[in-house]
Structure 1
Amino acid sequence: MTISGPSDATSSKVTLSPLPTKEANAPTKQTPALADPSKLTSRSAVVQALSDLSSYSASLDDELVSLFEESEPVVTDARRSIAALAPQVQLIQEEADVLDRRLQSSASVAKRISERVRLLDEERKRIALATEWAVRVAELKSSLSLLASAVEHRDWDMATMHCRRALAIDPAIRSSQFAAAVVPSTDLPELPETTLLELRKTMLTAFTDAFIRSTQNKDEKEASRFFKLFPQVGWKKEGLEVYSSFARSMVREKGRSITDSLGSGKAQNPTHFALLLTSLFEHLASLIDMHQPVVDRHYGLGNFSHGVMPGLQDECDRLGHRIMDSWREDRSVRRRLDEVQAYRFTGAATAKHTQPSTFKASFGVPGRTASPAAESTANSSFDEPSGPDGREVSKILTELAAMSSRWGYYRRFLQSRLSSGPDAGGGNRPKTLEDERAAQADEALKDFRRTSVDRRSSIASSANAPPIDAEQDEELADSIDHATQSKLGQEVLESMSTLYIPMETWFLRNSLEKAFRIDQPDTISRPYTSSILDDAFYVIRIVLARIMSTSSLATLTEMTRVVKTIVEEDYIEVIVRKMETLWRTISGSMTVDGPRKDAASREMRTVFITYLNVLDVSSTYMSRVLLEVGHESSLARLFEPSEQDEASACVQSLSSLVQRFRSSLRTEIEHLFTQLTAPRLRALLMDTYRDVSYMLDDEAYSSAESRDLVRRRFVKSWDLLFHHFRGVFTDANFNTYLSMALDALLKPWEGMVLGMRFTELGALKFDKDLRAVVGFLTDQTSLPIRDKFTRLQQVSYVLNLDGGEDEGDLYQNAVASGISWRLSMAEVRSVRGLRVT
């Protein structure tokens, strides 16, 4: 039978022409405008609308009939074409039936073959599984028999090997009915699982006894041997418990020596208890450093942290709590805290309300021969309020800060050493437990009883801790933060909150109060200064360094706020109040001329200058102290990397005190200037230009040149006004004071000049006088004096110009030549009017 190709189908293909449309044959008729029914209001309108609608309907019917008539030939032609395709479609259907009959028999054969192959595969799998079960059960029976024999002969290495073989068999096989029917024998009649469990329990008891006996005899090799066997026979958790008990016993041994030290009478050492706590942490760090690699090597990474470390930390907490209790009792901490809390400060209140009437009273007690920096004074009993001994409180704070610091070191050691992250330590280690055992099969345990920390790997080398592979053991994926959960850590933090912060606050306030009480000026040295400066910043430096040494971010955060408040209220504000009180006391004497006014002026000037210098140097000292205690290397040594940014921010927050010093300094300098110097500047200016005229001819100009009155008078008056401040002020304060004087002097000076009249020679003389004064003042200070005299210099420039040039041209030409005008156009015009032609 021949199947026709594609040419047979395409040879009879008929192309159907599209139906003719009205648009192609006739012009489009416009739709008549029909009336809107809603607008029909009369019967005649309704009749007319119906007539129009009827006519439009008849036209649509005629058009539709015409369209049907036009399309009828096309439809007839299409039907003939479709009828011509029917024989070809019938031929294709017959060919498809023939192909279906041919392929049906082949498909049935293939189906039977496929089903038979699947049956054969299933039978092969069942045979292989049955063979596997038989082999495994036989292996289980052999392993149990050999295991029982090895246990009976106490051959623990062989017993371990056979036990591992038995444990390696699928638990489903071990607990199956087939194994229960085949494995039991006359010697081992129990079920396989029961037999294996009993034999493993026997091994557990034997291993535990042997491990304990070996550790007691200090047989490291034998202890190491049995320690490795626990996880191999399925007793990992029990092995860790045995090892944890052993490790705790080593800490308890250290505890006995600590207990002996607590009662040995050595507590006179100011850091005795901090040293005991340090020795405890070092002992634990040594144990962790020596034993963690061994445990993690044989039991899996992270098992030391979860299985052994909790017991060690419990012992650490117990011994640490005993040390802290003994410290509180021996140092009478509770009594000291009660005294501190009951203390009422009087120094600040005295500074607020007392009104010193003499110079010495403004600075505190006379006859001062020592400093609180040395913790004692020759006149320390003078007007000394009752209360806690600052030296004893300082010792308590130092020891408590040392305890917190040691806890911080230990906490960072634990977090870095026992972290489960991939970067917890260094070194390349095998990836599987079998590789670990093969690589370290002959390695003995470390010396269990060694307590020294001479090894390089201790707390300081915690960065070399071995990594913990979290993927090796899923139940160990989440690391335990032993430091956070530690009861000792919580006790240290509570002590910092309830003891350290209130006592450190008291110590700082009391030290500043004492420093003010024995404050004495040093008016011999230049510039003037006061003992309060060194005494206060010695204490502030000690307190900030001690706060940083605690390694406690919470303590640092709270204490920086406290220190900032205390320095503002008990140091800066006290100095400001002393100056304000002095001014109120002597203000009455300043109103009447005479010796009393001169004495009061000298006293106020000396006290103000001294304390202004103190404020100026204090801002420098504060910046230096913050730079020292907040250094990046110090923060890296004292705080965790995650805490360093916040710790740095806490320290930097104290930098606002520098601005507080400077703002208070500026305010008080302005006060002193307003009271002492500002009233005399007008007299200085009037005296300088007394009888001075710039309406000069040639003879008058020559006489004025020879006399040089303006420069000489200004220099004399200026020296008379400022010689009391030169040398006794710090450079920064003198420059500030001089700048205030110039700012206050230049405006009236400019007004005085604008009230004068000038000839050409007079303008020239005025320019020389101005240059001479500016040159003199430039030698007095490092300030940019010439910038302050820019307006007066431009006035002189305008006065000395030729009169023929227009003011507008003059102004623009000067701008074009690079002059930056401080005078407006109107002011230039006004200055030009001062010239007399």
Structure 2
Amino acid sequence: MTGSQQVPSTSQPDLASDRNVNHLSDSTSESPLADPTTLTTPSSVRHALVALSSHSAALDQELARLLQDSEPILEQAQDEIASLGPKVDVVWEEADVLDARLRESAAVAKRISERVRILDEERRRVAAAVDWAVKVSDLKSSLISLSASIDQHDWDSATKHCMRAMSVDKTILTSRFASAVVPTAELPEAPEDTLFSMRKRMLQAFTKAFNEATEMKDEAEASRFFKLFPLIGWKGEGLEVYSTFAKGLVRERGRMITENIGRGKTQAPTHFATLLTGLFEHLAMLIDMHQPVVDRHYGKGNFAEGVMNGLQEECDRLGCRIIDAWRDDRAVRRRLDEVQHNKLVGAATIKSQVHSIKPILARPSTPAGGRTASSSMDEPSGPDGREIDRILTELAAIGSRWGLYRRFLKSRLLDEDDSGTKNETKEDTQQDAIKSFKDFRRISLDNAQPPSMLPEESLDEAETKEKVDITSQSALGKQVGEALSGIYMPMETWYLRSSIEKAFRIDQPDLTVKPYTSSILDDVFYVLRSVLARNVSTSSLPTVSEMFRVAKTTIEEEYIEVIVRKLEGVWRQVSGSMTVDGPRKEAATREMKTQFAVYLNVLGTSSLYMERIISELGSEQALSRMFEPSEMSEVLAIVNSLSVLVNRFKAGLRTELDQLFTQTTKPRLRNVLLETYKDASYILDDDSYAEAEYRDIVRRRFIKGWEHVLAGYRDIFTESNYNSYVSMALDALLKPWEKLVLGMKFTELGALRFDKDVRGISTYLASQTSMGVREKFTRLQQISYILNLDGTEDEGDLYESAVASGISWRLSPSEVKSVRALRL
């Protein structure tokens, strides 16, 4: 009852206190205090201070009243707190009683728990002791049975007992308990030593049995013992035995190769490359046959680690012997010294010479048809180009075979775990692995993959093995690389430069065919394509990169520049004869025209030939047979870098076309225009219009003058060169033509006649060339369009309405106004 009476007495003062506080805040917020920022006079400041003092006194009174009202509330709260003391004391007494009761039970539970833990530990130790006893007993029986099986030469049973003994934990095997229990009178040594000695006896027996089986060609027996090595813990030794066996097979092949090495001089030009190919083919067949067996019994990747190193050592030994024999038999060192000491000065000499045109009979389209750059009768003393070509061909073939073999090994030994990403079937891949060495044109093994014969439990072990590229450490690979950089590159560079020099030396412009051409074109590009194709076939990315750089520099400096200098020399030679009119000027003009036509055609066709070479060599399908996928992007970039030569050909062609046009054609075009419009007038009435229609004199005169100036170029130029020449002529002709027209006057019939003349001339020119002629006549056609309009429409409206109707004006509004003023 007391507590229930205290609740309303407590809440009422609280409400009163809240009202007092609210009243205080209200009175504070409602006080008329002035804003200090508005006090601008002394009197206003004094009034504000008085008001502030009054307000402060009111606040003090209100606070005193509130404190007085809150004293009963504080006293009542103190009384309530004092009444809670006895209840807290009761709670403390009950807690002490509970603590006394539970302390005894907790002590009992702790003693029980400790006893249970002791019992569990004793039971665990008993179980461990029993397990040790069982395993030691099993170890003892396994060793006894193993010894008996070895004495009886029952190797399958011995392997089974050995595996049982090896499965025992090493801690148990080397424990003092096992050393005390296991030894017997027949086997007195410690279990670990006994097992090791028996395993060594088995290793010796298995090795001897395997070697005997391989000598007897008993594949079943050899396979039986080979797969027992890893089961008894001799995997490395088994791989070594198998590696020795495999190297023996390679040595047998090596004896045949050694016998054939001495017959090199009487064999084909690629005799040593063929020997090397036979070696690689034999190794590929061995790998294809034996890798699945090793990986199936020893785990994936063990063939590469345990067997392939030995095979590669034999391959390097035999391959290096072939390379050394090739060097000696082909006299490579002597040929290389000749090349390095031979000074090619022909190209530099040609740059300063001017060769005259001598008509010759038609010659074959390729050097293969007769005389070539390397078979010239008047070539100077020096290295024999044919011998160098044979050496380069064979060395490129050696590089190609090594590249193929390297990609084969990588696909079989390094890419074993990527079989899920391959597109070919396992059977097709195995066949390709062998056929690729038999067909020299098939040199891509990038998609090869070995058959998967590993059990699932060995995959994790295979994935953890570090992959090593065996060919990167190969002595044969290093020797091939040194031969490509130290022999192939100097010789190939000399061969290309000397061939270009000889091609210029025997250069014969052919004027019996139209368009004119020269022997230099086919000779140079036949050699260039052969050199670049041979270079790509080496499958060596550094060699390809360096040779393409050399080829670009050589073609630019010793082919393009020589032709440009030749044409400049022609101009200097005939320029003196062209200053005076007469027969000498006409003869000089014909000579320059002929010379320029020949070599401008050569430059134009050279750009087409170069584009064709880039297209052929840059075929991804062809390159994929010679380079790894990781090298493809770089190889394509190297091949496509030759496109700078295409641009260089076109730039040189454009420059020399401008030179010929400026010196021989451009001065004569103005006379064509003047002769065309001589005595011509477009101020026509009906009679004069009919006469102009009948005579068609403007079109006829233009055609006559055009053919006199340009018709001769149509037969001697290639189509592209002729189109470019016509384009230059029109560009040079149309601006003066427009100025000439803007200086004339037109009647209505005269404007109509002018339109027919322009259309007739453009139609004639369109029939003479395959380029877009009508586009160049757009401004003249728009002038004719304006002249034929009625004169009622304002020029600005005419221009805007034509734009709105879709006409793309080439004339400005001011020009339209000027043309409209020409109408009478």
TM-score by length of structure 2 reads 0.88
Tell me the residue number matched to 2:28. Answer: 28
Q: Deviations over 1:304-354 (max 9, x none)?
A: 111111111111111111111111111111111122222222331122111
Shift of 1:122: 1.5
What is the aligned counterpart of 1:812 among 778, 786, 800? 800
The 1-side partners of 2:7 and 2:149 are apart by: 95
The 2-side partners of 1:172 and 1:9 are apart by: 79
Tell me the residue number matched to 2:285. Answer: 286
The 1-side partners of 2:517 and 2:306 are apart by: 64
Distance 1:13 1:251, change over 3 A: farther
CA contact (8 A) 1:274 1:399 kept: yes
Q: Where does 1:321-470 land on structure 2 (aligned, <5 Å)?
A: 321-356=320-355, 358-360=356-358, 372-373=367-368, 376=371, 380=375, 382-419=377-414, 421-424=416-419, 463-467=448-452
Q: Deviations over 1:452-506 (max 9, x none)?
A: 9999x99959724135788543795211110111111121112111111221111
Q: Where does 1:142-541 land on structure 2 (aligned, <5 Å)?
A: 142-265=141-264, 268-356=267-355, 358-360=356-358, 372-373=367-368, 376=371, 380=375, 382-419=377-414, 421-424=416-419, 463-467=448-452, 471-473=459-461, 477-541=465-529
Shift of 1:22: 7.4
Q: Where does 1:367-766 land on structure 2 (aligned, <5 Å)?
A: 372-373=367-368, 376=371, 380=375, 382-419=377-414, 421-424=416-419, 463-467=448-452, 471-473=459-461, 477-766=465-754
Q: Deviations over 1:639-686 (max 9, x none)?
A: 111111211121112122222222222221111111111000110001
Q: Where does 1:56-205 land on structure 2 (aligned, <5 Å)?
A: 68-205=67-204
The 1-side partners of 2:699 and 2:438 are apart by: 79
CA contact (8 A) 1:471 1:477 kept: no
Shift of 1:404: 0.9
Higher helix share: 2
The 1-side partners of 2:567 and 2:443 are apart by: 56
Shift of 1:287: 1.2
SS of equivalent to 1:154: coil
CA contact (8 A) 1:370 1:377 kept: no
**What one-letter code is carried by the residue in structure 2 that aligns with 1:729?**
F
Q: Deviations over 1:694-748 (max 9, x none)?
A: 2233333333333222111111111111121112222111111111111100000
Q: Deviations over 1:593-623 (max 9, x none)?
A: 1111111111111121122222222222222
CA contact (8 A) 2:444 2:625 kept: no
CA contact (8 A) 2:163 2:231 kept: yes
Distance 1:621 1:554, change over 3 A: same
The 2-side partners of 1:127 and 1:378 are apart by: 97
Shift of 1:806: 1.9
Distance 1:474 1:382, change over 3 A: closer
Q: Deviations over 1:172-202 (max 9, x none)?
A: 0010010111111111111111111111112
SS of equivalent to 2:624: helix
Shift of 1:753: 0.9
Q: Which shows bigger deviation, 706-715 or 463-472? A: 463-472
Tell me the residue number matched to 2:426. Answer: none
SS of equivalent to 1:727: helix
The 1-side partners of 2:105 and 2:6 are apart by: 36
SS of equivalent to 2:716: coil
Tell me the residue number matched to 1:436. Answer: none
Shift of 1:371: 6.3
Distance 1:621 1:103, change over 3 A: same
Distance 1:657 1:788, change over 3 A: same
The 2-side partners of 1:586 and 1:136 are apart by: 110
Does 2:783 correspond to 1:795? yes
Shift of 1:31: 14
TM-score by length of structure 1 reads 0.87
Matched residues, number: 787
**What one-letter code is carried by the residue in structure 2 that aligns with 1:465?**
P
Tell me the residue number matched to 2:427. Answer: none
Distance 1:236 1:828, change over 3 A: same
The 2-side partners of 1:649 and 1:377 are apart by: 31
Structure 2 residue runs without a partner (length 5+): 37-51, 423-433
The 2-side partners of 1:354 and 1:10 are apart by: 132
The 1-side partners of 2:415 and 2:602 are apart by: 54
SS of equivalent to 2:702: helix
Tell me the residue number matched to 2:47. Answer: none
Q: Deviations over 1:287-307 (max 9, x none)?
A: 111111111111122111111
Q: Deviations over 1:16-43 (max 9, x none)?
A: 748669753433399999x9xxxxxxxx
Q: Which shows bigger deviation, 698-707 or 178-187? A: 698-707
The 1-side partners of 2:419 and 2:263 are apart by: 40
CA contact (8 A) 2:682 2:751 kept: yes
SS of equivalent to 1:693: coil
CA contact (8 A) 1:515 1:532 kept: yes
SS of equivalent to 2:414: coil
Tell me the residue number matched to 2:430. Answer: none
SS of equivalent to 2:515: coil
Shift of 1:781: 1.8
The 1-side partners of 2:632 and 2:213 are apart by: 46
Distance 1:9 1:312, change over 3 A: farther
The 2-side partners of 1:701 and 1:309 are apart by: 97
CA contact (8 A) 1:173 1:179 kept: yes
The 2-side partners of 1:556 and 1:375 are apart by: 30
The 2-side partners of 1:10 and 1:261 are apart by: 125
CA contact (8 A) 1:735 1:782 kept: yes
CA contact (8 A) 1:568 1:657 kept: yes
The 2-side partners of 1:404 and 1:536 are apart by: 25
The 2-side partners of 1:601 and 1:698 are apart by: 46
Distance 1:258 1:138, change over 3 A: same
Structure 1 residue runs without a partner (length 5+): 1-6, 36-52, 428-449
The 2-side partners of 1:236 and 1:834 are apart by: 105
The 1-side partners of 2:670 and 2:298 are apart by: 92
CA contact (8 A) 1:351 1:574 kept: yes
